[in-house]
Structure 1
């Protein structure tokens, strides 16, 4: 009988509560405890494709090079792919959630080349250029609607955290449900993609004048919403502001 292969040590811990994992072709194992947020830090600005089987089980928010993961319930191992926004690297993750496990609050993933973002940051500290509101709006739209492999690299733009709860009363004079989908910024400009859903039995032509809030510009993905229950009863509206969405005065 052949002896069992010896397990390779794939990760370690430091005294600061961070687990380190080196990606060497094998998927990186990410263990979660339900209802406990865990941060996974990558050596690049990341995009993540979440399989349909994890919808409702795993909450994911990605800001730059860090993924904030929260399991809503235990689930078995599932393969998730993370790739660099510029397409230069791709890392498979095996994510699972189990009750009663103790894990470090942060997992730091390294590439074997040693070219982690933290290592190369000091070699080029030039400030990224800012973009105008048109470019920022286009970038937000492509991030929402285009496949992750087609999302362009846009230096100077960074993803921002945003509360995705519904915002009552953002749109006046119609039965419309609104909730943020994502937010990005460049310099002093902020764009928030907000989901607009028609809750009435009649079609609706969006009127930007009915928006509450101090917005620099507002651009709907589609101007016309069909009655509730239709495939086209929902669209995204891109709101440009000079501050984060949560700080914009909505009532005027």
Structure 2
């Protein structure tokens, strides 16, 4: 029998913090959290249905899970020449939380044109997204 893990913060907060540390912090500073494990989010290489109102490309980076929740880190890149203010309320899908690493994206081709989005889902991440349109052969 596995011992039940109890957390001092809500699981979505722990997962988001863990994902951000794993992607951006020096390895020696990443806090181990019992029960958090890497997962394959089983997502397409480009996700077009997540943020259809913005001129961005979205692609999965990594995923982690714990306590029946999954966090997926997604790269969000501006494809336009305009600055974009990011709004999690415009995301399409069934998510518990959505956290952008930065609040806005600079114009395409600038160092600020890319950020990371952390989405926490119930269960498997792939089931929380709006299905991609099937491509005609």
TM-score in terms of structure 1 length? 0.48
The C-alpha deviation readout for 1:120-141, integer Å capped at 9, x for no partner, is xxxxx54351541111110110
Structure 1 moving runs of 4+ over 4 Å:
none
Structure 2: runs of 5 or more not aligned: 132-137
With 155-164 and 204-213 compared, the bigger mean Cα shift is at 155-164
Cα distance in 2 for residues equivalent to 1:249 and 1:239: 10
Q: Does 1:202 align with 2:78?
A: no
Q: Does 1:226 align with 2:132?
A: no
Aligned length: 127
Structure 1: runs of 5 or more not aligned: 1-124
Q: Does 1:144 align with 2:23?
A: yes
- Preserved CA contact (<8 Å) 1:196 1:235: yes
The C-alpha deviation readout for 1:142-197, integer Å capped at 9, x for no partner, is 00101222221111101101346111131021211001111111111111111110
Cα gap change, 1:128 to 1:146, in 2 (>3 Å): farther
Say which SS state the counterpart of residue 152 (structure 1) adopts.
coil
Cα deviation for residue 249 of structure 1 reads 3.9
Give the RMSD, CA atoms, in angstroms.
1.6
- 1:248 maps to what in 2? 128
Say which SS state the counterpart of residue 215 (structure 1) adopts.
coil
Question: Greater strand share, 1 or 2?
Answer: 1
Cα distance in 1 for residues equivalent to 2:24 and 2:33: 16
- 1:175 maps to what in 2? 55
The C-alpha deviation readout for 1:197-247, integer Å capped at 9, x for no partner, is 000000000011110101111010001100000101000011011022212
Say which SS state the counterpart of residue 238 (structure 1) adopts.
strand
- Preserved CA contact (<8 Å) 2:48 2:58: yes
